[in-house]
């Protein structure tokens, strides 16, 4: 390999790393509302703010489009997605079916180590709810998110891709930005414990039923709020 190619590979690798890091930063900015829903994406402004060139920034924006966090509107440009109540109902309907399947598969495939980690996770969640009066329970993500771990434990790569990539950050965005009145942390934790118990007992049918019912209750809250606004 020539020196020129080697240098070029290193430069390309650095640019890719910059883009990946920037993608993660922008995801959190959007999810937590620091870049507001519906706001127009200004490449010059973001490039200046994050001190990056336009190349990595454009790659990051394309990734965010793929995750559904940014949409392009003809004659307007790129904007942060606005989560309407109707979009949320559709999102939860998809979750209900797919996460029910994930819970069923997790009951069949989860390891003893993963079960122990989930039990420890819910114990920490219980302590956290007591400490913050439930205010930020649904802000958990990644390995600290009960649903995320169940999906991973399903060992189904298609479910993991759909639920942990394409839909996951939209859900997190809703959790962060929804009114506190729409959350039910204590009840949700109890339902998580029931789901975990079914998975621990390798009861695939019950695990799926409980997960679907759990998500359906959250969807009902969204629909209730939607009906009250019409």
Alpha-carbon torsion, ordered 126, 132, 136, 139, to 10 deg: -50
Neighbour count for residue 210 (Cβ, 10 Å)? 21
Q: Is the pLDDT of residue 227 over 80?
A: no
Q: List Cα–Cα distances, 198 to 35, 110, 142, 145, 201, in angstroms.
A: 40, 12, 22, 18, 5
The predicted pLDDT at position 110 comes to 97
Mean pLDDT of 197-221: 95
- Whether the predicted pLDDT of 210 surpasses 70: yes
145-190 tens-digit pLDDT: 899 999 999 999 999 999 988 788 888 888 787 765 455 778 889 9
CATH assignment of 3-80, among 3.40.50.1220, 1.10.10.10, 1.10.101.10, 3.30.910.20 = 1.10.10.10
The DSSP H or E segment spanning 15 is: helix 3-31
Mean pLDDT rounded to a whole number for the chain: 84
User: What is the pLDDT at residue 10?
Assistant: 42
CA distances to 76, 137, 144, 204, 222 from 107, in Å: 47, 24, 19, 5, 28
Does domain 85-228 correspond to CATH entry 1.20.120.530?
yes
Segments making up each domain of the chain, as ranges: 3-80, 85-228
Average pLDDT over residues 4-18: 52
What predicted TM-score, i.e. pTM, was given to this entire model? 0.78
Is residue 185 a contact partner of residue 138, using CB atoms and an 8 Å limit? yes
């Amino acid at each position: 390999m020539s020196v020129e190619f080697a240098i070029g590979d290193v430069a390309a690798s650095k640019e890719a790393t910059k883009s990946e890091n920037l993608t993660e930063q922008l995801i959190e900015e959007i999810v937590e509302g620091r870049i507001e829903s519906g706001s127009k994406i200004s490449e010059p402004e973001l490039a200046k703010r994050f001190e990056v060139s336009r190349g990595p920034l454009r790659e990051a924006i394309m990734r965010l489009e793929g995750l559904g966090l940014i949409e392009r509107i003809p004659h307007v440009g790129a904007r942060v997605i606005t989560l309407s109540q109707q979009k949320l109902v559709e999102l939860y309907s998809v979750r209900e079916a797919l996460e029910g399947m994930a819970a069923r598969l997790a009951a069949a495939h989860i390891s003893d180590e993963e079960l122990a980690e989930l039990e420890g996770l819910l114990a920490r969640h219980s302590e956290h709810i007591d400490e913050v009066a439930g205010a930020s329970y649904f802000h958990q993500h990644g390995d600290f998110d009960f649903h995320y771990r169940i999906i991973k434990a399903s060992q189904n790569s298609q479910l993991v891709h759909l639920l942990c990539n394409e839909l996951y950050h939209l859900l997190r965005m809703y959790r962060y930005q929804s009114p506190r009145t729409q959350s039910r942390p204590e009840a949700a934790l109890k339902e998580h414990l029931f789901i975990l118990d079914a998975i621990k007992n390798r009861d695939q049918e019950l695990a799926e039923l409980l997960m679907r019912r759990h998500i359906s209750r959250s969807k009902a809250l969204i629909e209730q709020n939607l009906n009250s606004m019409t």
